[in-house]
Amino acid sequence: MKKYPHKSQKNHYVDLLRRTLNATRSALAIAMSDQRAALAELLAKAIKELHWKDFETLVDLVFRDAGWIRVSVLGQHAKAYDLELREPIIGDRHVVQVKSRAGLADLQATIANFSPDDFRRVFFVVHSPDDDLVRATDIPSHVEIVSPQRLGELALDAGLVGWLEEKVS
């Protein structure tokens, strides 16, 4: 005997097909996305309250969760960077400069220390950027500024909500 889907299940499939064809999202997906954005924004605020050592640890945890391999020792500051990382598949080397507060002059000093020949990418992670850094436009292609908002999203993706909540308790 042939089984037919229940009427509500059939309506679900019709709705799914309609959304797929029209490239629209469900109300549930939109609500989840909104809540995720709100949580990432709260995490960005929490990040700004971290002690500098915890902030450095958070950055390390985020990159390591993404699969990067730390080459340097966390807390042993090398000249001009806080972390040296290796991307595990290709083996490219990257550096990370972590700053609690920084402006454009800090970024320029970091950029002056590294070229694309030395490292594939330079990540400049700052939780309280000065206005001149926020407005900066002439950033070399091998340099990426990681804002507190972006770090909040990355921390969420890495499952570090509980860790951050504990640190700001």
Give the model's confidence band at 16: pLDDT under 50 very low, under 70 low, under 90 confident, else very high. confident
User: Is residue 8 over pLDDT 70?
Assistant: no
Is the Cβ–Cβ distance between 142 and 121 less than 8 Å? yes
CA distances from 50 to 54, 135, 168 (A): 6, 24, 7
Spatial distance between the Cα atoms of 99 and 101, rounded to a whole number of angstroms:
5
Two tokens, residue 161:
């909500």
CATH for 7-167, options being 3.40.1350.10, 3.40.190.10, 3.40.50.10540, 3.30.505.50: 3.40.1350.10
129 contacts: CB under 8 Å, gap ≥ 6? 101, 102, 103, 145, 147, 148
Which amino acid, 92? Answer: D
Spatial distance between the Cα atoms of 82 and 160, rounded to a whole number of angstroms:
20
CA angle 39, 44, 47 (to 5 degrees): 125
Domain-wise residue ranges, the chain? 7-167
Mean pLDDT of 128-156: 93
Q: What is the pTM of this model?
A: 0.81
Spatial distance between the Cα atoms of 146 and 125, rounded to a whole number of angstroms:
5
Q: Is 88 helix (H, G, I), strand (E, B) or coil?
A: coil
Is the Cβ–Cβ distance between 97 and 125 less than 8 Å? yes
pLDDT at 4: 58
- pLDDT tens for residues 80-112? 788 999 999 999 999 999 999 999 999 999 988
Spatial distance between the Cα atoms of 107 and 125, rounded to a whole number of angstroms:
10
Nearest CA-CA partner of 136 in 167, 113, 162, 102: 102
Q: What percent of the chain has pLDDT over 90?
A: 64
Mean pLDDT of 62-81: 80
Q: β-strand 83-86 against 93-102: which pairing, if any? A: antiparallel
